[in-house]
Structure 1
Amino acid sequence: CSGIHRNLSSRVKSIRLDFWEDELVEFMKSAGNAKARALYEKAIPPFFYRPQENDCNNNTVVTDCFYEGILWKKGKNNMQFQKRKFILSEREFTLTYYNKQDESKGPKAVISIKDLNATFQPQKIGHPHGLQISYQGDDHIRNLYVYHEGSEEIVSWYNAIRAARYAYLKTAYPTGSNEELVPKITRNYLKEGYMEKTGPLQKEAFKKRWFILDSENRKLLYLRDKLDAEELGVLFIGTESNGYSIKACAPKHARGNKWKCGIRVETPERQFVFMCEQEREQREWLDALRKVLCQSMSPQDHTGEEAGLNIQSSQIHGHWLLLDDSTACSLVLTPTQTFPRSKNL
């Protein structure tokens, strides 16, 4: 940044290497970043993302209501990235992509902007310009992992998505202020990483899973691996007053667990036990989960809880329905509420 400003004939001083006169220090105090932003950034659109130090190194403002281009997208069931055409329509509030360049064969997916989120994931995807796009499907959350060779282009896509999301929120909540709506445009996840988990009986073998904590929606999602297209399960995190708690633990009689730093999550329906590899990771997960636990629940959060996001099983016509995590698709019907020992949630 300093090099660019020197080329613009701006006055540049090093905080550590240059001498700062008292008069200049007082001037910086009275006319610092806050006042400078109020003056020079007053025309920036509310949806425009403020870059962070680890983001891509270029930013462009996108205000068009239509954006299209080619992105490299990871396959749903493999690690191959293929070129795919994406079209973002702010007017229709949709993101569409095609498996083939020939659009006459129809789109592979037409995604509603309503529940869409986008977040930079360079380390996770393994590319400096990696972007994760997530949205609510019929019965699961679908993740798309994309990148572009150019940092400016992927940032343009990111801001285009934010522009479309902002337009949708202004339509859905016409009386909402920017202070209320801007945090809901897109969000970074509070915490991600591997933990081991066991089933509802806590006698099943522990299995390594990738976890994502979405503090905005109070969801703890787990996937078989970090670049999976769909989650295996979702745990809703309520508040203590609603019967939820987060504690460190050291499970006894555990089977198959290689890691020893435990976390116990109590919900009104059941108890979940997770294992971390190191105490540092355990502390980080405990801090993140407790942060969500202490957040006040919104009306939308109560709706999510009532929908049973943390209930992995339910009764249908007198039978107990159980989701088998080992296959991520099997349903087991039993006439009683006793869980089969071989099933690991």
Structure 2
Amino acid sequence: MSLEPEGSNRLLRDVLARPGNETCADCGNPEPDWASLTLGVFVCQACSLLHRSIPHISRVKSVQDTWDASEVELMATTGNNAAKAKYEQTVPAFYYRPTHSDCKMLREQWIRAKYERNEFEFIEKQEPYSAGYRDGFLWKRGRDNGQFLSRKFILSEREGALKYFNKQDARDPKALMKIETLNATFQPAKIGNPCGLQITYLKDNSTRNIFVYHSDAKEMVDWFNAIRAARFHYLQVAFPGASDEELVPKLTRNFMKEGFMEKTGPKHTEGFKKRWFTMDDRRLMYFKDPLDAYARGEVFIGSKENSYTVLSGLPSSTQGHHWNHGITIVTPDRKFLFACETEAEQRDWIAAFQRVINRPMRPQEYAVEAHFKHKP
């Protein structure tokens, strides 16, 4: 039975209202306004653009266009829930599922992994990040000269470490990063490459940054998920009673907030200097340059129950700041003074600090706080 266009579009709206179809099949964004006619899924506009990069797999159409009855019928017989049951049937617990706020490269590789490479229908295709061992070459930024040079990396779950070597035939690694403290987060804008990954780890209880990329986006995402797999298996041993739902949020984390602020020293008379700040959980780190390997300093941000507070503005006697939007962080030991360039930045930083301060401290965080208090 053929329907008038108005009738087909009315039926399409009914299909859109079904459970599962109210969010994008790929990133979870609400109210998807595009569809893949070949895959039978509803997606948001941003993901529809990524579907266009695989035209041999997916043909997209706006839900605002005129639809004929056969197209609506195809969407009605598939839909997001049925497609997920097929294309996401064996996604490992550790595998990162991007959201609409993640970088384009990460979202595109998730779409390609599902629909083009069928990685989650055939488990053997997951070996690059599931095997517990991975080696290869990545372009790594030099700590002193800022140049990116090819370096060999080895990730070994058995050794509990990620290592890299300065020379191809070197026996000893230049750095050994324990999986226990490893983190990875995509930073394309900061690194200046769409596949740029920032790896952090603790060295002598201070944060060390490494910036890497690979020209092949799939390679870079495989490295990222291999790190997550190694972290997942480490945490399964460290916390044997924990569920996957408890462990997965601990695998990798994005920084809560980053940007430039001015800061002054402990006496509040040293003058203010512009620094790049990174809020990583309870560690507030500051750098001279966003791509520095080591922080110039770190501040521990505890909870309100432990006498940590954040205030808008600076003490009236404060001098030497070029930016007018001040922030004061009060800790049990001293006050830290910062200044932001704009009121919006000040508001965002205060909100980030407040989220951390409002969260009660976990038992292991008291040990971290004690270390900060005894830093030379």
| TM-score between both structures, scaled by the size of structure 2 | 0.74
Residue pair 1:99, 1:107 contacting (<8 A) in 2 also: yes
Aligned to 1:318: none
Long gaps (5+) in structure 1: 315-320, 322-345
Q: 1:41 aligns with which of 88, 102, 112?
A: 88
Number of the residue aligned with 2:207: 141
- Aligned ranges 1:61-140 → 2 under 5 Å: 61=126, 62-104=129-171, 106-140=172-206
1:284 maps onto 2:348 in alignment: yes
Residues 1-345 of structure 1 aligned to structure 2 (within 5 Å): 1-3=50-52, 7-8=56-57, 13-18=61-66, 33=80, 36-37=83-84, 40-52=87-99, 53-56=102-105, 57-59=108-110, 61=126, 62-104=129-171, 106-215=172-281, 218-307=282-371, 309=372, 311=373
- Residue aligned with 1:103, SS: coil
Shift of 1:120: 0.3
Letter in 2 for 1:145: F
Deviations 1:69-112 (A, max 9, x none): 111111112211111100111222111110011134x2111211
CA distance in 1, matches of 2:254, 2:216: 22
20 and 163 in structure 1: CA distance in 2 versus 1, 3 angstrom threshold? farther
Retained in 2: the 8 A contact 1:198–1:207?
yes
CA contact (8 A) 1:87 1:97 kept: yes
User: How far is 1:232 from its partner?
Assistant: 1.8
Distance 1:34 1:137 in 2: 45
Which residue number in structure 2 is paired with residue 325 of structure 1?
A: none
Maintained 8 Å contact 1:84/1:97: yes
Identify if the C-alpha distance between structure 1 residues 129 and 176 changes in structure 2 by more than 3 Å, giving closer, same or farther: same
For residues 101 and 64 of structure 1, the distance between their equivalents in structure 2, rounded to whole angstroms, comes to 23
* Higher strand fraction (1 or 2): 1
| Aligned counterparts of 1:3 and 1:256: Cα–Cα separation in 2 | 53
Structure-2 change in CA distance of 1:102 and 1:296 (3 Å): same
Unaligned runs of 5+ in 2: 1-49, 114-125
Q: Aligned to 2:109, what secondary structure does the other structure show?
A: coil
Letter of the 2:298 counterpart: V
The answer to whether the 8 Å contact 1:251/1:262 transfers is no
Distance (Å, rounded) in 2 between the aligned partners of 1:298 and 1:35? 40
Task: Name the counterpart of 2:33.
Answer: none
Instruction: Tell me how many residue pairs correspond in the alignment.
Output: 305
How far apart, in 1, do the equivalents of 2:264 and 2:66 lie? 58
Structure 2 SS opposite 1:162: helix
| Cα offset, 1:35, TM superposition | 6.7
What displacement does 1:206 show?
0.5
Could you tell me the TM-score, scaled by structure 1's length?
0.81
